Structures are given as structure tokens and as C-alpha cells.
Chain A
Amino acid sequence: MTIPMTDLDALPLLTRLSHTQRAAIAGVSRIETYEPGTRLFEEGGLADQCWVVLSGCVMIDTVVPPRGRITLQSIGPGELLGWSWLVPPYRWHFGATVVSPTRAAVVDTGALRVLADEDPALGYQLSLILIDALLNRLQATRIRLLDLYRNPS
């Protein structure tokens, strides 16, 4: 399904893009809805798309024998899911499962790369968006390492 521009215009993630640039992103994206339990990708699989969650929740996980599949992080509304497509070997480092009814913009990352190559201004803005998302995720992960909520006793 074609992505409505109102969805992209409302995303804080994309506020640094012009309406025209968002329209270009919409041209390489589609809307998908997912039921809970849907497996979006597996660790080691080919990373050729990414998602912007519009509503719902997706869990990123990995397998830790013998504990099984361990949830590492959730991705909620307005957040970007997946960046293993950015750099070789283009394989997912983790897996991802939908845990509540989810609506997401699915971006064809091959086509997105072509767009960025053809329009360096858009490519630069996309880079900043991705760096911002990566920084937020990295900083949140570092803070979690502090274990701030632990009982001091």
C-alpha cells in the first residue's frame, strides 16, 4: 500500500526533510500492517529494507543458549527499525518480532541508496537522520548499562 504523506509529515524523525524530500522517501516506501508474532527478520538474514514504526511495537532479539530468545530492545511509534542495510555485509545482527498490532512504513533501502546517490543534499539529510537515531539508541544503551534503577541496598 502506498504510504500517505500525512504519516511521514507527522514523524519527528523526518522533520529535518522538506516535504519534497519526504515525498521522495514515500516513493520508495510502502505501508504494511503486521499481526503480533510476525517475524520481520532473522539474525544473519539479508538486510535489504528498514522500517519506520507508525504504531505498535517490535522487539529486537537474539538467541542465548540455553535461555532461548532474549529481548534486547523494543522499537515503538516514530522509531526506526533496522540499519544493518547501511554497511557490508548487509546482514541482520539481530532478529525482530512484532509484539502488538503494528503499522509501519517499509523502506526499500536499495532504492533509498540510489535516491541518496542521485541527490546528495537528500543523502546528507538522511545521514544526519540516521546518525541521530543511532546516537539516541547508543546513548540509551549506555544509560541502561548504568543500571540506574537498581536498589542500592
Chain B
Amino acid sequence: MTTWVPTPYEVVTRTVETHDSVTLTLRPVAESLPAFRPGQFAMLYAHGVGEVPISISAIPGDGTLVHTIRAVGAVSRTLHDAGPGTVIGVRGPFGTAWRLDDAEDLLVVAGGIGLAPLRPVLGHPAKRTVLIAGARSRQDLLYQDEIAQLSDVDVVLTVDHGDHDWHGRVGFVTEPLASIPLDPDRTTALLCGPEPMMRFCARTLLGRGLPAERIQVSLERNMQCGVGLCGHCQLGPLLLCRDGPVTGYPMAEPLLLAKEL
């Protein structure tokens, strides 16, 4: 039943992250869905409007679901605007998760809203974790207070456009990526953001000696059914709702050059 029929969840909290993004915490109205793993996504249904795929952006472990939503269309705008008490339909968990089993050093590279699916891995007990996060401006950076509290993570924040109040980096994420201390033999890299960003980051990492097998990316297309049946999310040989979103770079590399959605 959980695959096809949305399970009712109620918005418990709504936290404004940026001018166009909010984080919703959802509590099951009755039955709850199986546990999500970092990198997986849910189909969130705004009643009477439609359904969109949204990654899990935290795993509190208390049965609630946490999603960060950027308002980019009619459905995501409705979800973005949903206040506490609103009931949302949820299907999932769907897709593949970040593979962290053999990760000694963890390198997390996020761009824009791409930080949301990576947020749950920041607590993974790696020997060393580095987060490089890029955004358009200081105002567009997600989870700023939370990131400031991260004590076991080396954090590099970079924006495209700096202002007088910004004392972090100005530039693209590939720049710190090219110069940070990195042990290619023990690093696992997780990339999430616009596809060109992931392409360029992966190339930078390959240039630094990181094996392609240790690079994972998150790919997204038009996810609809969530279980690899409808075919809307096909990308080459993959049905991304089932075989993705998290994909190894050796598989993803040629697909990232696909010219059409």
C-alpha cells in the first residue's frame, strides 16, 4: 500500500531556510512509512495540486520525516507554503542511498539545494569529514546555523556573489576542491547539485587521483511512480527512481553528458 497510496503526514514544523526554501518536519497521522536512508527520496503529494520527489534531508529517528523544499513550480510552491497542521500525502522510501560502508574520509560537495540530500551524512562517523558547499549568495546558503555548530566537520562555504557581510569564500566549489588536503586512497566523495557542477567536481577529483569508483553523484529526472514502472525518469539504462538517485560515477559519467532530459 505504501508504494502507490500516499500515507497521510501532518506538517509539524516549518523552518524558513532561504527566500525560496523551507524545511518541513512531517509526523504520521496514523501509520508511518518504513525508515528512510540518506540519499533516498519520497514522493510528496500536495492534495489537489500534485506530487513531486523530495529527498530526505534529516533522519531524526523518531518516525518523523524531514524534507527541505525549494519552491520552483506549482506543487513545490504549495508544499513550500504548507504550514503546521497541513496534511501531506507521502510515498516512499524510494531509490538508492549514499554508500558509506567503506568510507574512511568523507568528502561532501554540495551545490544549492543539493545540500539537502547530503545533510544526513554529515553525522556519519568517518575519520575525517569535509563539507564544501556552494550557493548563489550568502542568503541562499542552507542550514547556516546548523553548519556553524558542526564540530567534527571541516567546512568550506563558497558563494558566487559575495557582499560586505560575507567573510567566507567567493568562487565555485571546484576551487577549494582542487586545493584541500585529500588522501585519494581513503576518500569517498559524495556530490549533489546541478549536474554540470557534479561533472566538474568529479573531473577535479579524478585529476587529484581519486578513483571514479569512490565518487557518488545524485541524479534526478522526472520521477513519478517511484518504483521503476512508468519510465518517466529513464536516463540511459537507468530508471532513476529505482536505480538512482545515488549513482556511482563510472555509471553516471557518460549519462551526465546527455543533452536532453
- Answer yes or no: B213 CB below 8 A from chain A CBs: no
Q: List 28 A-B contacts (CB under 8 A).
A: A57-B167, A71-B163, A74-B171, A77-B180, A79-B179, A99-B167, A136-B204, A137-B175, A139-B200, A140-B172, A140-B175, A143-B172, A143-B200, A144-B171, A144-B172, A146-B196, A147-B160, A148-B111, A148-B196, A148-B197, A149-B135, A149-B136, A149-B140, A151-B70, A151-B71, A151-B72, A153-B72, A153-B73
On chain B, which size bracket covers the interface? 35 or more
Shortest distance between the CB of B109 and any CB in chain A (Å) = 13
Shortest distance between the CB of A21 and any CB in chain B (Å) = 19
Q: Which residues of A contact B181 (CB under 8 A)?
A: 10, 12, 78
Interface string of B135-174 (1 = CB under 8 A from A): 1100010000000000000001010101100111111101
**Cross-chain contact of A136 among B73, B136, B163, B174 (Cβ < 8 A):** B174
Shortest distance between the CB of A58 and any CB in chain B (Å) = 10
Shortest distance between the CB of A137 and any CB in chain B (Å) = 7
Identify 6 new A-B residue pairs, CB closer than 8 A, beyond the known A79-B175, A144-B160.
A10-B181, A71-B170, A74-B170, A143-B200, A148-B111, A149-B193
Q: Which residues of A contact B180 (CB under 8 A)?
A: 77-78
B179 and A143 form a contact (CB under 8 A) = no
Shortest distance between the CB of A105 and any CB in chain B (Å) = 14
- B84-141 contacts to A, CB under 8 A, are 111-112, 134-136, 140
Max chain A CB contacts within 10 Å: which of B167, B178, B180?
B178
A149 and B170 form a contact (CB under 8 A) = no
In angstroms, Cα B123 to Cα A133, docked, is 33
Shortest distance between the CB of A2 and any CB in chain B (Å) = 23
In angstroms, Cα B174 to Cα A10, docked, is 19
- Answer yes or no: B176 CB below 8 A from chain A CBs: yes
Given contacts A59-B162, A74-B169, contact A143 B196 (CB under 8 A): yes
Shortest distance between the CB of A81 and any CB in chain B (Å) = 12
Shortest distance between the CB of A15 and any CB in chain B (Å) = 10
Closest 8 CB pairs of A and B: A78-B179, A71-B162, A149-B112, A148-B194, A140-B172, A74-B169, A149-B136, A74-B170
